[in-house]
Each structure stands twice: as C-alpha cells, then as structure tokens.
Amino acid sequence: MIRGVRADLLAAVSLAFAGCTANSGEVETASSKPAPEKPVKFNKDPYPSTYTGYPTRLTVVRNVTIFDGEGGRIDNGSIVLSSGKVDRIGGPGMELPTDADVVDGTGKYLTPGVIDVHSHLGDYPSPSVEAHSDGNEATSPTTPEVWSEHSVWPQDPGFGRALANGGVTTLQILPGSANLMGGRSITLKNVPARTVQGMKFPGAPYGLKMACGENPKRVYGSKGRMPSTRMGNFAVNRATWAKAVAYKKKLDEGKAVDRDLAMETLAGVLSGEILVHNHCYRADEMALVIDMSKEFGYKVSAFHHAVEAYKIADLLEKEGICAAMWADWWGFKMEAYDSVPENIPLVYKAGACTIVHSDDANQIQRLNQEAAKALAAGRRMRMQISDEQAWTWLAINPAKALGIGDRTGSLKPGKMADVVLWNGNPFSAYTRPEKVWIDGAMMYDAMDPKRRPVSDFELGQPGEGDVK
C-alpha cells in the first residue's frame, strides 16, 4: 500500500515537471494533486447485542440465607428485585415493599447466579455429533480472525440444562484449544433466544482464546508443520504478536492499512479492549506466557485449567491474573499430571483471583458441587475458608475475569438481578436450584412446569418438552 502511494506521488511529480516545460505559464492547483489516503474506520461491533430482558415483577425473597457473591453472608436475610436490578438487600429488619411477589426462603439459600468462565455450549452442542463440531478452526496455528459467536447454536439443549440444574446465568463461550490463538470468545446471558445476538451480554468485552502446551504442538506437529514443540509454540506466538504490534502502530499513527481481521483482534488485545483467556496447564509455561505478555504489551485476564497454578499462586496474585480451575480433573495427559486436590484453595489462600470452571456440558450443571469438592480439600488441609468466601469462585471472580464485575457477579444494589434460590445449602450434593432469575425475570421454577426451559430442538422428541 505504501509502495503504491509513492508510485502515485512520483507520477504526479513527473506530470508537473512536464507541464512546466510545455506551458511555463500554467500554475498547478490544489485540485490537481492526488488526494491522500485516509485510514479506514472499522466497525468494532458489527454484530451488536440485541438482548432485552424478559418481563419482570417486583419480587421479595425473605427469611433466606444469602451469600452475596463477594464473600459476605446474611442470615435470615431478604432481597428486593425491581426493574431487573437488585434494589436492596439486608437482614431481618430491612423494610420491604408491600406490593411485591413474596417468596419465603426459610431453610433455603440465595446466591448470585453461577458464572461459567469456560464453556463450549453452542459451539459443541448436544447431541454431540460431527455435524455440531464447530469449536476448533484447526487449519492454522493462529486464527484470531474467527469468532466463536458465529458458531453458537442458540437451540443447544445444554443452555437450559445449565440454567435449571446448575443455576448458570452467564457464561463465556470459547473456541477450542487446538490453536495457539483460537479466536474470539463471547459472553452470553443464559436465556432462550432465536439468535446468538439475542443472548449476547450487552457491553461485555470480547475475549481472545489462546492455548499453550500439548494441544497446538500435537495438532500441528502431526501435520508436519510448525509448531511441533513448545519452543515452536512460543516462536509462532511471538512472530504473530510482533506483526500485531506493527499493525497497531500504523493504526495509532492514522496510517492507511489493508483490513486484516486477525490483526484487528490482536490490536484489540493490545489496546486492552479484548481480554486474553489462556488455556495453560504447567506452571513454567504460565510464567513464560506472562513474560511474553510483557514483551508485547498485553495482559492475561485468566489462565484456564491451570492445574499447576498452586506452584505460582504468588506470581498470579502479583500480576492480577485469575486462575480458572477444575476441582479434580487431572492425569489425562502429561501436562495435567501434577495436579493436587488443594489447587483451588491454595490459589485462593495466596490471595489470587480464584475461579471454578467447567469446560464440559455436564459439569456446567454442577459447578456448585465442583466448588464444594475444592472447599472440602482445602478444609482437610486445615484452611479456614467459609462457604460464603468459596462462593466468590463462582460469582464475582469470574465476573471480573470477563470484565463484567461492575454489572453482575454479586448481590449489590444496582447490579443485575441474576439470582438463584437453592432448596438447601448449595455446597450439598443433594441441593438443586429451586428458582432462577435473570435480570429480575424468573427464568426457571422447579415448582412450575411452565417455567422450565425446553429447547426448540427437543420439542416433539419422545419424552422431551411434554409439559402439561
């Protein structure tokens, strides 16, 4: 592009000199000069959210044990949900409206909705067949130009199951981990919608899914191409980031560039508009990724899976990086071998941002139990962690990692009324969601068959959707 501009300028200069020789009395005017190229203004949000909350009613839940999602607890508490927001929250003496729908929570627990920071629902929907496998664009080791939302199937029955069985109100849909840079992620509100844009969390930043370790080197090494080693992983990453830095520099200087969808995503990361979610297991690789992020000027929002996070918990705390982890998945490949059951509580006790995630269509339905297993492992190690503190692993911490902690993730006045009423202590294997509200609208009620989510795909299937 620059070379073409220079050629045009040389041609213009030659014509000017020729004109002076032939007609020395003519004066060159501004209109005869070639117009300079202008930088292209790209639409940063070409697929905007069309989400609108479902109808709400003024609602009071009282006489309930409340975990506020930020480590606080209220016994015999009450909450008021109004116009899609948490209006107020407090103890037995709080004044309550007299014209509200009232739910008695005696013997029950109330929490913010569960937030899963790592899901592939919609991109790997149910039923799990090859025709539905849309999460990995495994054709190049770096594909930041692809967006997970363009694969999301809103009719995936997994969304409704995550809501009804797991109390999941918000989730991030990520590309898979075949590639070093797998593409953009999207954050969704877990509501029925005809389009993915109808589920799209308004204003939530995009994420960039990255992966290190065994997956990329196995996928591309088996094809006889780079990367086939961990050093190859980093070499390809660094070369791509170097190109992105140069691309962003041109944009910042107002220079014209050819549109490059991959570089647009990476420039968004470098400017802080897109958050990095990095699949990474080993402690040494996480430390190297942190160094690489400093080399090129971006920040990692969260390391996902992170089975060795306990080895560098102090480093994660220092760098302000979250660790999204399983309770007890380990040993299924070498980089997942050196896990310990106390990984999650050890990271928490070090003061780092601690998250429990699923990465699985079944496990997303019981993230409360996954957190309970990690909590029990910590207590066996004599760690003093309360139930309400552990709920931060499913609430405010994933919200912060997704860049939406100012709007959801805790039960604070003015925040989105994403709320779950559990029929017992949510850390019990016997407890299930009884009611779920999203933006103050009751989306699930175990006591009302008409308020149970059923995918269009399941309607008419034997034994599915036959609500009376």
For 131-184, write each residue's pLDDT tens digit: 999 999 999 999 999 999 999 999 999 999 999 999 999 999 999 999 999 999
pTM: 0.90
Residue 305 inside a domain? The answer is yes
Residue 187 inside a domain? The answer is yes
pLDDT number for residue 33: 55
C-beta separation of 237 from 300 below 8 A: no
pLDDT at 4 over 70: no
Residues 8 and 147 in one domain: no
Residue 83 inside a domain? The answer is no
* Average pLDDT of the residues in 198-217: 98
Between 18 and 345, where is the model more confident? Answer: 345
Distance CA 79, CA 59 (A): 8
pLDDT at 1 over 80: no
Residue 197 inside a domain? The answer is yes
Q: Tell which of 370, 392, 412 closes a domain.
A: 412
Residues 204 and 336 in one domain: yes
Distance CA 26, CA 40 (A): 35
pLDDT at 466 over 60: no
Burial readout 154-192 (b: 16 or more C-beta within 10 A, e: otherwise): bbbbbbbbbbbbbbbbbbbbbbbbbbbbbbbbbbbbbbb
Predicted confidence band of residue 453 (pLDDT cuts 50, 70, 90): confident
Residues 15 and 135 in one domain: no
Taking all residues of the chain, what is their mean pLDDT, rounded to a whole number? 92
Domain holding 14, by residue range, is 2-32
pLDDT at 327 over 70: yes
Residues 298 and 175 in one domain: yes
Residue 102 inside a domain? The answer is no
Residue 417 inside a domain? The answer is no
pLDDT at 461 over 80: no
Taking Cα atoms as reference points, which of 177, 403, 396, 182 lies closest to residue 272? 403
Residue type (1 letter), 272: G
Residue 388 inside a domain? The answer is yes
Both tokens of residue 251? 């944009």
pLDDT at 17 over 90: no
Predicted confidence band of residue 274 (pLDDT cuts 50, 70, 90): very high
pLDDT number for residue 459: 84
Residues 126 and 10 in one domain: no
* Average pLDDT of the residues in 42-59: 94
Residues 8 and 141 in one domain: no
Residue 375 inside a domain? The answer is yes
Beta bridge partners of 107: none
pLDDT number for residue 451: 87
Between 33 and 267, where is the model more confident? Answer: 267
**For 93-110, what is each residue's pLDDT tens digit?**
999 999 999 999 999 999
* Average pLDDT of the residues in 333-345: 97
Residues 152 and 20 in one domain: no
Nearest 5 degrees, angle CA 79-CA 80-CA 86?
Answer: 95
Predicted confidence band of residue 27 (pLDDT cuts 50, 70, 90): very low
**For 341-395, what is each residue's pLDDT tens digit?**
999 999 999 999 999 999 999 999 999 999 999 999 999 999 999 999 999 999 9
Number of domains in the chain: 2
Residues 146 and 13 in one domain: no
Nearest 5 degrees, angle CA 330-CA 334-CA 339?
Answer: 35
Q: Tell which of 395, 412, 429 closes a domain.
A: 412
pLDDT number for residue 464: 57
Residues 252 and 149 in one domain: yes
Residues 118 and 27 in one domain: no
The dihedral formed by the CA atoms of 96, 97, 103 and 105, expressed in degrees to the nearest 10: 0
pLDDT number for residue 37: 58
- Assign residue 260 the CATH number of its domain: 3.20.20.140
